[in-house]
């Protein structure tokens, strides 16, 4: 199936011919750059479409997407889930945060090649960005896939969300267990679990989960702690 048909079927997302072409250009850039920069083990076009693009678009099951909203993807790597969302939703502002400079160079290349006006990169660690005034508490949706266990990840994500905004962690089979371990982090950082939403992708046997958290209160000033602390000593 094509990305347009699957995005429509699974998530009700409409993609026009230009957006479909942008996904093709993105795949080409992944294959080319992966020879120099370690971006992803998944390069076969059908697998990229399902496991990277459709998986990224599944975020719509965790939050309504509205024109003008500000979204940030923490530890985006080669752009997942933020870049497919920037392609699919030109009216949403997407910030792609990544600590590794080489990956940021790749993302800048893709943004330029695809002429994406609504995406920008941020070469930073979450522990630093969480204390910068124009990033702290400025986002409607804060996303991450495959970055850290949930108790540590919440310390990266919650400081960036507006009160009333959402954090969405894309998880595998450990979603429930990681959520159970995050009660303390949620309480300290000002978050509340909304739901754990299962996502089934075509021809992918294992279920994926979106752990959806609402920011209910301002995160206390000391958080996030200094780089490395959230993973070394999770709350």
Asked whether the bond before 224 is cis by omega within 30 degrees of 0, the reply is yes
Binding track over 99-138 against ligand SAM, x by CB under 6 A: xx--x---------------------xxx-----------
Nearest to 151 by CA among 100, 191, 123: 191
Among 146, 163, 198, 207, binds ligand SAM (CB under 6 A): 146
Query: Residue 97, interface with ligand SAM (CB under 6 A)?
Result: yes
What are 22's two structure tokens? Answer: 């942008």
Distance CA 175, CA 141 (A): 19
Among 135, 145, 208, 215, binds ligand SAM (CB under 6 A): 145
Quote the least distance from Cβ 16 to ligand SAM, whole Å.
25
Task: Tell me the CA end-to-end span of the chain in Å, nearest whole number.
Answer: 44
Distance CA 130, CA 66 (A): 24
Query: Residue 179, interface with ligand SAM (CB under 6 A)?
Result: no
Distance CA 154, CA 167 (A): 8
Residues numbered 149-168 forming contacts with ligand SAM, rule: CB under 6 A: 156
Among 19, 27, 58, 76, binds ligand SAM (CB under 6 A): 76
Cβ–Cβ < 8 Å for 216, 192:
yes
What are 108's two structure tokens? Answer: 């800048």
Could you tell me how many residues of this chain bind ligand SAM (CB under 6 A)?
Answer: 18
Distance CA 187, CA 210 (A): 20
Cβ–Cβ < 8 Å for 140, 70:
yes
Closest CB to ligand SAM among residues 98, 214:
98
Distance CA 31, CA 27 (A): 6
Among 98, 155, 178, 214, binds ligand SAM (CB under 6 A): 98
Closest CB to ligand SAM among residues 14, 145:
145
Of the candidate spans 13-21, 24-32, 93-101, 171-179, the one that interacts with ligand SAM by CB under 6 A turns out to be: 93-101
Closest CB to ligand SAM among residues 75, 165:
75
Q: Which residue has the tokens 């959402």?
A: 166
What are 90's two structure tokens? Answer: 């030109």
Query: Residue 211, interface with ligand SAM (CB under 6 A)?
Result: no
Question: Residue numbers of the site for ligand SAM (CB under 6 A)?
Answer: 74-78, 80, 97-100, 103, 125-127, 145-147, 156
């Amino acid at each position: 199936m094509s990305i347009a048909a699957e995005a429509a079927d699974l998530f009700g997302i409409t993609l026009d011919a230009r957006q479909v072409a942008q996904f093709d250009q993105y795949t080409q850039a992944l294959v080319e750059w992966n020879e120099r920069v370690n971006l992803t083990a998944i390069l076969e076009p059908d697998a990229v479409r399902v496991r990277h693009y459709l998986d990224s678009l599944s975020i719509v099951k965790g939050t309504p997407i509205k024109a003008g909203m500000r979204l940030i993807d923490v530890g985006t790597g080669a752009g997942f889930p933020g870049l497919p969302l920037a392609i699919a939703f030109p009216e949403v502002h997407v910030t792609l945060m990544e600590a590794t400079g080489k990956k940021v160079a790749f993302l800048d290349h893709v943004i330029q090649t695809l002429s994406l006006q609504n995406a920008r990169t941020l070469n930073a660690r979450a522990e630093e960005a969480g204390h910068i005034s124009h990033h702290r508490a400025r986002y409607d949706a804060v996303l991450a896939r495959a970055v850290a266990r949930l108790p540590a990840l919440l310390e990266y994500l919650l400081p960036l969300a507006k009160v009333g905004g959402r954090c969405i962690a894309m998880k595998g089979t450990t979603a429930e267990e990681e959520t159970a371990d995050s009660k303390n982090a949620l309480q300290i950082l000002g978050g509340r679990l909304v739901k754990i939403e299962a996502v089934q992708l075509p021809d992918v046997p294992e279920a994926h989960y979106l752990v959806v958290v609402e920011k209910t209160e301002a995160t206390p000033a000391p958080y996030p702690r200094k780089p490395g602390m959230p993973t070394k000593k999770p709350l």
